[in-house]
């Protein structure tokens, strides 16, 4: 990054055009799932800004969580002559036709954040999705001090993400693997008995769907005053619905430990207000930086492996992983995986405000800077 900025500055100093020659005339198609989930608005604007600042033309589309529309939108990007596609899939299994078309047109594809199950994907840029889940699970273990629980028991309910999103299973499994020994030991009790991913999943990560499912669980299993201790939610949009259900329909008076992911504005406000306990934050600004440097290396024909990380001036951790993800059986997808962070009411300033991702008002509420 720094190197590129220096080159640009040097070119400007001698009166040469400020656009690096390699980016000139190159167009990047960016397809994000929806604007209705907050984080993708930030991803979209960071990606567009980063690519444009590096001299690329960037076309950004959102597809309203509609699979057919995303196929259509990507087809349009292909006919607009993009040189590279950066795609976050609505349904990782539903892009086969359009991925074939991208491959035929010789357009490299970066799967952004969510993997696409098609071998036309050249690289995957994401966070370590399984770790997101383990951070949530471990937070529950540590906060309730489950290793020293003795005879105490705690009631827990799970809310997972969209089964069409390849990430959702990783988040759920990461959390469940950490918590399972405590469930097996009887320290954690899933009163509803709902522990299977398909049963606890939330189509489209929809807040209202998560809210209604939690209302049903509360009415069926907790109406007699049974205490709910933990609502393990895979992300913030589902945590928001679960929190609303607990506020309106929970008979108990204890505060429920609620997990999340993303650092959405409303959830950070809930953390400030003590209604949500934690979120796992993913610095999507850094995810965009990795995507840009990767795209540039691919378009320049450079070798892409861990040397990209070594040559970079990234001031954050990122691993090159050739084992964890497959686009089809046996076909590993080389991946660049960033590291997620746990955010609670105690580290909002250091984790989110100091690095410049959010501003904080005098009243303590946060607002994203992008």
CB of 361: closest distance to ligand GAL in angstroms? 24
- What is the full DSSP assignment across 274-313? TSS--EEE--HHHHHHHHHHHHHHHHHT---STHHHHHS-
Longest dimension (CA), the chain: 76
Report the site for ligand GAL in 286-345 (rule: CB under 6 A): none
Quick one: the chain helix, strand, coil %, rounded to 5?
Answer: 45, 20, 40
Smallest CA-to-CA distance from 292 within 17, 13, 22, 39 is with 22
Q: Which of 91, 165, 206, 293 binds ligand GAL (CB under 6 A)?
A: 165
The interface region with ligand GAL, picked from 3-11, 96-104, 160-168, 179-187 by CB under 6 A, is 160-168
Report the residue number, 108 or 161, with the smaller CB distance to ligand GAL.
161
- Nearer to ligand GAL (CB atom), residue 90 or residue 218: 90
Alpha carbon distance 202, 240 (integer Å): 13
Number of residues that bind ligand GAL (CB under 6 A): 13
Contact assessment for residue 229 and residue 155, using Cβ atoms and an 8 Å cutoff: yes
One residue of 63, 65, 83, 167 binding ligand GAL per CB under 6 A: 167
* Options 113, 128, 229, 287; binder of ligand GAL; rule CB under 6 A: 113
Going by their DSSP bridges, the two strands 257-258 and 366-368 should be labelled as unpaired
CA distances to 19, 244, 249, 266, 267 from 241, rounded to whole Å, are: 45, 5, 12, 11, 10
State in angstroms the smallest separation of the CB of 325 from ligand GAL. Answer: 13
Q: Print burial letters for 285-296: b (CB count within 10 Å at least 16), e (below 16).
A: bbbbbbbbbbbb
Instruction: Tell me the β-bridge partners of 235.
Output: none
Decide if residue 207 touches ligand GAL (CB under 6 A). no
* Separation of alpha carbons 250 and 217, rounded Å: 10
Out of 261, 270, 277, 312, name the contact with ligand GAL by CB under 6 A. 261
CB nearer ligand GAL, residue 240 or residue 308: 240
CB of 165 to ligand GAL, least distance (A): 5
* Binding test (CB under 6 A) with ligand GAL, winner from 235, 244, 286, 335: 235
Decide if residue 201 touches ligand GAL (CB under 6 A): no
> Which residues partner with 338 through β-bridges?
127, 318
Do residues 218 and 188 make contact, with C-beta atoms less than 8 angstroms apart? no
Span of 6-14, 161-169, 184-192, 217-225 interacting with ligand GAL by CB under 6 A = 161-169
- Determine if 114 is a binding residue for ligand GAL (CB under 6 A): yes
Please identify, using beta-carbon distances, which residue of 43 and 296 lies nearer to ligand GAL: 43
Question: Does residue 243 touch ligand GAL according to CB under 6 A?
Answer: no
Residues that bind ligand GAL (CB under 6 A): 37, 39, 113-114, 161, 165, 167, 205, 235, 237, 261-262, 282
């Amino acid at each position: 990054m720094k190197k590129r900025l220096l080159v640009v500055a040097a070119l400007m100093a001698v009166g040469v055009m400020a656009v690096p020659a390699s980016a000139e005339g190159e167009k990047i198609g960016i397809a994000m799932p929806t604007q209705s989930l907050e984080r993708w608005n930030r991803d979209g604007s960071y990606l567009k800004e980063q690519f444009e600042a590096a001299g690329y033309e960037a076309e950004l589309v959102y597809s309203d969580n509609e699979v057919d529309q995303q196929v259509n939108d990507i087809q349009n990007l292909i006919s607009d002559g993009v040189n590279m596609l950066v795609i976050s899939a609505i349904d990782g299994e539903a892009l086969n036709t359009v991925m074939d078309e991208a491959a035929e047109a010789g357009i490299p594809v970066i799967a952004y954040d969510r993997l696409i199950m098609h071998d036309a994907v050249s690289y995957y840029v994401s966070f370590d999705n399984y770790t997101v889940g383990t951070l949530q699970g471990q937070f529950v273990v540590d906060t309730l001090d489950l290793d020293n629980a003795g005879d105490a028991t705690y009631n827990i309910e799970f809310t997972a993400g969209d089964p069409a999103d390849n990430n959702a299973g990783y988040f759920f499994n990461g959390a469940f693997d950490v918590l399972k020994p405590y469930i097996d030991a009887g320290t954690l009790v899933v009163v509803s008995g709902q522990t299977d991913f398909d049963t606890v999943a939330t189509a489209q990560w929809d807040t209202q769907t998560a809210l209604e499912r939690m209302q049903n669980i509360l009415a069926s299993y907790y109406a007699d005053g049974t205490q709910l201790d933990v609502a393990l939610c895979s992300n913030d949009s589902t945590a928001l619905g679960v929190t609303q259900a607990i506020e309106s329909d929970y008979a108990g008076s204890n505060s429920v430990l609620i997990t999340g992911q993303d650092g959405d504005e409303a959830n950070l406000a809930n953390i400030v207000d003590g209604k949500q306990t934690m979120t796992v934050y993913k610095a999507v600004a850094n995810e965009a930086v990795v995507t840009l440097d990767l795209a540039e290396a691919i378009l320049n024909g450079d070798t892409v492996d861990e040397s990209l990380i070594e040559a970079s001036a990234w001031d954050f951790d990122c691993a090159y992983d050739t084992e964890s993800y497959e686009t089809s059986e046996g076909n590993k997808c080389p991946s660049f995986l960033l590291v997620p962070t746990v955010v609670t009411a105690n580290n909002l300033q250091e984790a989110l405000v100091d690095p410049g991702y959010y501003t904080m008002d005098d009243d303590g509420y946060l607002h994203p800077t992008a």
